[in-house]
Copies of this chain bind each other. A is one copy, B any other.
Amino acid sequence: MATTLRIVEVEKLKNACSACSLHELCLPAGLSAAELQSVDQLIDRRRSVKRGDYLFRSGAALHSLYAIRSGFIKSCVLHEDGREQVAGFHMMGDLMGLDAIGTNQHLCDAVALEDSEVCEIPLKELEGMSRNIPSLQQHFHRIMSQEIARDYGVMLLLGSMRAEERLAAFLLNLSQRFSARGYSATEFHLRMTREEIGSYLGLKLETVSRTLSRFQAQGLIAVQNKHLRILSLDNLRELVSHHSCRS
């Protein structure tokens, strides 16, 4: 009896934001210790998603937002005629499902690219709590706004950059995000295929592969399959901003 209770408590503690190393990055960023404890009660359960499995599918009803605890998840928008496009790659600390609030239906598929863990955050309860905790409300708004800002960046990339620039911008973006999470900014594992990168960047997989090879030949990076090392962040940055064409 006592043991069972104990397990439940430990379970809760394990799920708690206050015990999570991501709480400075994730939804509760910037909350006081007391507020953090309230937010703990939001997380009704953790869920693990195996590589290749769906976290949610386009069209499904929205119950919860999902904060990624660990792993790597892609989101794909689908066109009615079957075309699909990767809309984003998400990693720990990211919040998924924001696009579904407007219609109460998910508009994209979320597929794990590696075994992942997410925290389920029921939207209604988040809304309720954010009415009482202004800093939670603010931070939630910030997160939604940052998603919009990110999308604007992708639009710029898709609408006015050449293949080389897109790839360079993509690698720099990954680098920056890994770095913000305490990992190496210059050496990491690409968890997605060339085709998925291409889909995200509006390119074909052959173009992605060729461009990576070119970068390697130019000494900008070292790629071996999915293992990537950036040899010159500066040169990559230059590539993104300076490159002439496509006024």
Binding site for B on A (CB under 8 A): 77, 79-81, 83, 85, 87, 98-103, 107-108, 127, 130-132, 134, 137-138, 141-149, 151-156, 158-160, 199-202, 241-242, 246-247
Contact = CB atoms under 8 A, between A and B. Distances in A.
Most buried by B among A85, A127, A130: A85
Q: Which 5 A-B residue pairings sit nearest by Cβ, starting from the closest?
A: A101-B145, A151-B151, A159-B202, A158-B158, A102-B145
A134 B131 CA distance: 8
Contacts of A199: 159-160
Consensus secondary structure, chain A interface: helix
Q: How many copies does the complex hold?
A: 2
B87 A152 contact: yes
B145 A145 contact: no
A104 to B, nearest CB: 9
Contacts of A79: 156, 160, 241
13 contacts: A77-B152, A77-B153, A79-B156, A79-B241, A85-B159, A98-B144, A99-B149, A108-B152, A127-B137, A131-B131, A148-B151, A155-B155, A159-B200
